[in-house]
Structure 1
Amino acid sequence: MQRILVTGANGFVGQVLCRTLQASGHHVVAIVSSSAESPAHADQTLRCDIRDSDALTRAVADAAPTHVVHLAAITHVPTSFKDPQLTWQTNVMGSVNLLQAMRQAAPEAFVMFVSSSEVYGAAFKQGIALREDAACLPLNPYAASKLAAETAFNEYFRQGQPGVIVRPFNHIGAQQSADFVTASFARQIALIEADKQPPVLHVGNLEAERDFLDVQDVCDAYLSLLELSSQGTSYPRCLNICSGRPRRIQQILDTLVGLSSCSVEVVQDPDRMRPSDIPSATGENSLIRQITGWAPDIELEQTLANILAYWRYQVNMAQ
């Protein structure tokens, strides 16, 4: 059993990861903000803002982790445009604060930094599945801040900090915020089914292709990568987590609508069009397959059915 510290533990991914870690027999220490609810699947909960370096150092000392998974971040791209200062303070300085806290209080702990496929940005315009050595050409403040944080982690790795950077592609599932595309579609369908919204479904760019994964598959990948800590320094420092299969947003919508008996009119909403949209964003996953044997296991259709069931429940509970 390892003592695993998870920042951002009460977020969409954090909750699934804490449950996955506990189910695997690990002692989970969650870091959440002062106003957040305690995660259901944590053995210990600590409260601090990762932008507060002193408080974070105390939290890391209290946790005494063998491993750290750094999830805490501003992850919503539109928010990163609206509030770039908060995004950079949280995603970059919060990461540096964590690295310094580990240096002082847990120098031997293995750290996993959860970056994002968004760092590749304009490189996706090549129209091919990108490997980890592809150029990183961010197209929004969120992506730029993640790449800057990667630079900080790589510097600490150079100085001897054990750890790895992961670049997950689009991961989806129940409890994800309706700010994100699949949850937005499912929530609207559930509202239409319950006669709480006119039968009009507002969408953004349906032609874009993205590499979608179930959040549980992503967390299983994280779990397998934490085992790299037993391999000294003989492992890659950066790995994609992806399916390698591009899926059109139109396909996502069609599948969700097909799971419902209601008829809907699809209307494109200019406010939902991302200013940096690129036609296709797909990753190449041979490295993580080779290193850990991990591969995605959950079919997209099952994931979408789970998301729709979740939003039906939420809408019915609100009645």
Structure 2
Amino acid sequence: MTLNVQFSDTPKRWTIFEGPLNDAFKAQGLDVDLSTDHAPETVDYVVYSPKGPVQDFTPYTNCKAVMSLWAGVEKVVGNDTITQPLTRMVDDGLSEGMREWVTGHVLRHHLDTDLDVNRAPGDWTPHMPPLASERGVTILGLGELGQACAETLLPLGFPITGWSRTQKDIEGITCLSGDDGLIEALKRAEILVLLLPDTPATTNIINPETLALLPDDAVIINPGRGPLIDDDALLAALDLGKIKHATLDVFRVEPLPEDHPYWHHDRVTVTPHIAAETRPTTSARVIAENIRRGEAGEPFLYLADRDQGY
């Protein structure tokens, strides 16, 4: 039986994903008609992006699952028209990209590489960073991406503290949870990495009170979600010198407006939401595996928790 799979993303992404998705379906032995314009009532599965045209799922009366191409589902998890299972994107390409980006920027700040990049001719002033074993790194968020980053940094010698809403147990990492755990995690954070989901409970988790808990001259790295940070509070902490630097990849409004203070602050590095892109080849395999599971009556991988919002 041919399965109708609706691709709902931008036209540009269709040109990028069409081939890898069809290849992945073929590798799974699935007979799939992948299209952007199936009649809604004929669709078996929707491959979804918040930037795509399908936002009202009411007409998709026979759809068995909605499969997000994004790791974060906060933009869709509250959509009441989705009555089918909703899956998140968790794939090796996302994890590998995030590990590399986070590790690169942790090392950049640990080694004070910016000092050398911006060194004036003739400036031979030495600077000696502490060893990794002397620099505490805290990761807020110990989901798939947070755990991947923690396990990559650990062999480099950094003492890693992780915080999550629910208690985790990861070998070699100090895992904390709850309000008291958050306070302790922030106090240890000479370098703070934000990898929490965007939920009402995490909005503005970096605010005047939590910023005050960080060690002086702490660095903040945010490849997670823009709303995790109270922007005004972070800018004030940077201006006061409490926070040494912030490297930010995600923002409340994207693209970040040209007149935003982050662009013009000498203690802020802006990157254009590049830390972990959904990669067509690896994500297509995840989509194909989940469709195979759906057809075989097996549980879907990476179901969104609608009560928790991610």
TM interval, shorter chain, is 0.3 to 0.5
Give me the TM-score of the superposition, normalised by structure 2. 0.39
Give me the TM-score of the superposition, normalised by structure 1. 0.38
Question: Could you say which structure has the higher helix fraction?
Answer: 1
Greater radius of gyration (CA):
2
